[in-house]
Amino acid sequence: MIHVLDSRLHDAVLDTFEATFGKRPSDAQIQIQSTRAEFEGDRTVVVFPLAGLAGAPPHVAAEKLGEALVASQDWISAYSVVKGFLNLTLTDASWSETLREALASPAWGFATPGSQPQVMVEYSSPNTNKPLHLGHLRNNFLGYSVSRILEAAGHDVVKVQIINDRGIHICKSMVAWQKLGNGETPATTGEKGDKLVGRYYVAFDKAFKAEVAEGVARGLEPKEAESASPIMQEARAMLQRWEDGDTEVVELWKTMNGWVYDGFNATYNDMGVRFDKLYYESDTYLLGKKHVEDGLSRGIFFQKEDGSIWVDLTDDGLDEKLLLRGDGTAVYMTQDIGTAILRFDDFAGLDRQVYTVGNEQEYHFKVLFLILKKLGFAQADKNHHLSYGMVELPEGKMKSREGTVVDADDLLLEMRTTARAISDELGKVDDFAEVEKALLARQVGHGALKYFLLKVAPAKSMMFDPKSSIDFFGNTAPFIQFNVVRCKSILRSAEVDASTLTWSNDTTLDDAERTLAAGVLAFPSVVREAAATYDPSVVANHCYDLIKAFSSFYQDHPIAKEENADVRNLRLALCAAVSTTVSNGMSLLGIDMPERM
């Protein structure tokens, strides 16, 4: 959505520029954004793209354009120039027009669905040898939020995951269960299937390390001891049997993966994320092998003496990369090649793929995209790696094979439990029914976690701190939720329908009111920026800044009790517009706003 005010300003700049300089810019040359807080003004026109057409330096062109706009547009009251940026101050009447538009649109800030090209977003993409953990939470919340933001910007979004359901890591859990499991199942133990399988992955690692230590004690070099490990040899043999279609191995694989899928689905439901389509490595790796073998036949790849197939990327500033092992078994790159090509085949209108994967895999995706280009894949340039930093713990990096992870299910439960304890202690939900208390605990607890993980730009790593995430003060979801509830309470108490509020266009806005109106006005451009950069933190921090400004405004301004009817209705309109804007923004983060708290 481009709101009325920006659309009006866009047209005014086009017409005024043409009248002033005798040439008409293209729509793409007109760039309008919110004025930065340290400068006077409400909206800023970026004049640099227009300087050549004006035949003048940017600051000179900006000065002439600003003077002409103030002279010709009675709703622009003043201007200032900072280098090639033209800062415009708008009249109170223009703010009123924006507020009315926001109040009339429940989907304020969102573009027309399907008005932009189709995009596929991959996230989660777990291995079926362990349960989901804190790192998966950041991945899922980030990928799902980016999907919601792209949808809000008008894109048709396909949400997918690739489930890494084959490979040596899966065989490790299978071998350990065969040797140590005594036939136990999720049904016999009452344990979630993903946790049961993950427990055997940890058990494999312990047994493997013990065998390596024993080999080293016998005088073997560490690498020799690893190769000689009986349990590792069993895992490698099982992988080969799986790829050969051995019935017994395949049935065990299906059974244990089935346990894991049941566990994953329960966790996804708890997270509040979903997918439109699932891809499985066990399906796509064969297509990848076909393309690797085709690349070998065309001289794009090369084969070593042991039969393994590689790609040489040294001329591209990278390295040699293994694509197929000597025994013919696939590696991650094999299936990623097949998956990338298959998805564009599945979705003919797909404009691009976005891979939500941690920054530890940046090199992997550079190689993948380059391989696709060398294969002559038409959509090779339509892939983007949404790289994000790791979530770290005070005691160091999480390691799944050692079992030193923060379990996703446990953390979600902890956040709900903490939120419930805080609300009970404050005594403000004593009149709530039990189901309402449980819902509020979920909204606050899960909202706090999601916001904590999304308010930081994806590229940055973070230290996980659950205590600060659920604080009701500062840049947190509970603070935002509390003030949105306050907005709703004010409107309920005033017994007004915000969409029918009226006030005079001559009603003056003070600085605090203009700040709120500017925050509402900026939201559509915030959504577009977040979509262009795949960065939910842009939305998160805008919501915080706007609600923080409202909190300060609330302390100093009577709203429903204001005696002047025009001022009262304007302030109620601001209250409603802030509530709608922030609620819409937080929904893009997957966070619900309570009605009461």
pLDDT digits (tens, 9 = 90+) for 86-111: 999 999 888 888 788 888 888 999 99
Give the pLDDT of residue 102.
Answer: 84
Give the pLDDT of residue 77.
Answer: 94
Classify burial at 80, counting beta carbons within 10 Å of its beta carbon; exposed 0-12, middle 13-18, buried 19 or more: middle
CATH homologous superfamily of 412-587 equals Isoleucyl-tRNA Synthetase; Domain 1 (1.10.730.10)
pLDDT digits (tens, 9 = 90+) for 385-414: 999 998 876 655 444 444 457 899 999 999
Cβ count near 178 (within 10 Å): 14
Cβ count near 130 (within 10 Å): 24
H-only helix segments in 79-167: 92-103, 134-152
CATH class of the domain defined by 123-402: alpha beta
Give the pLDDT of residue 403.
Answer: 47
Would the pLDDT of 470 be above 90? no
Assess contact for 454 and 123: CB atoms under 8 A: no
State the first-to-last Cα distance of the chain, in angstroms, to the nearest integer: 32
pLDDT digits (tens, 9 = 90+) for 213-266: 999 999 999 999 999 999 999 999 999 999 899 999 999 999 999 999 999 999
Give the pLDDT of residue 401.
Answer: 43
Q: What three-state secondary structure class fits 85?
A: strand
Q: Average pLDDT, whole number, for the chain?
A: 93
DSSP code per residue over 516-553 = HHHHHHHHHHHHHHHHHHT-HHHHHHHHHHHHHHHHHH
Q: Sheet containing 320-324: give its strands across.
A: 302-303, 309-312, 320-324
Would the pLDDT of 192 be above 50? yes
Give the pLDDT of residue 209.
Answer: 96
Least confident of 16-25, 87-96, 249-258, 444-453: 87-96
Give the pLDDT of residue 351.
Answer: 96
> pTM value?
0.90
Give the pLDDT of residue 1.
Answer: 44
CB proximity list for 223: less than 8 A, separation 6 or greater: none
| % of the chain surpassing 90 pLDDT | 82
pLDDT digits (tens, 9 = 90+) for 539-591: 999 999 999 999 999 999 999 999 999 999 999 999 999 999 999 999 999 99
Q: Where are the beta strands (DSSP E) in 400-522?
A: 462-463
Highest mean pLDDT among 381-390, 463-472, 514-523: 381-390
Q: Taking the C-alpha atoms of 60, 65, 66 and 69 in order, what is their torsion angle to the nearest 10 degrees?
A: 170
Give the pLDDT of residue 42.
Answer: 87
| Distance in angstroms (rounded) separating the CA atoms of residues 433 and 377 | 58
Q: Which pair of structure tokens corresponds to residue 167?
A: 């490979």
Give the mean model confidence (pLDDT) for residues 488-492: 95
Break the chain into its structural domains and give their ranges: 4-90, 123-402, 412-587
Give the pLDDT of residue 394.
Answer: 65
Give the pLDDT of residue 562.
Answer: 94
Give the pLDDT of residue 402.
Answer: 46
Give the pLDDT of residue 400.
Answer: 43
Q: Which pair of structure tokens corresponds to residue 128?
A: 């079926």
Beta bridge partners of 384: 354
Q: Which pair of structure tokens corresponds to residue 241?
A: 């049997």
Closest of 272, 240, 250 to residue 165, by C-alpha: 250
Confidence of residue 301 (pLDDT cuts 50, 70, 90): very high
Beta bridge partners of 127: 164
Beta bridge partners of 385: 355
Q: What are phi and psi of 152, to 5 degrees?
A: -65, -30
Give the pLDDT of residue 318.
Answer: 96
Confidence of residue 3 (pLDDT cuts 50, 70, 90): low
Give the pLDDT of residue 393.
Answer: 67
CA distances, 209 to each of 162, 227, 228, 396 (Å): 30, 12, 12, 21
Right CATH for 4-90 from 2.40.50.140, 3.30.1360.70, 1.20.120.1200, 3.40.50.2300: 3.30.1360.70
CA distances, 390 to each of 38, 397, 534 (Å): 33, 9, 17
Give the mean model confidence (pLDDT) for residues 416-434: 89
- Total count of residues recorded for the chain: 597
Give the pLDDT of residue 84.
Answer: 94
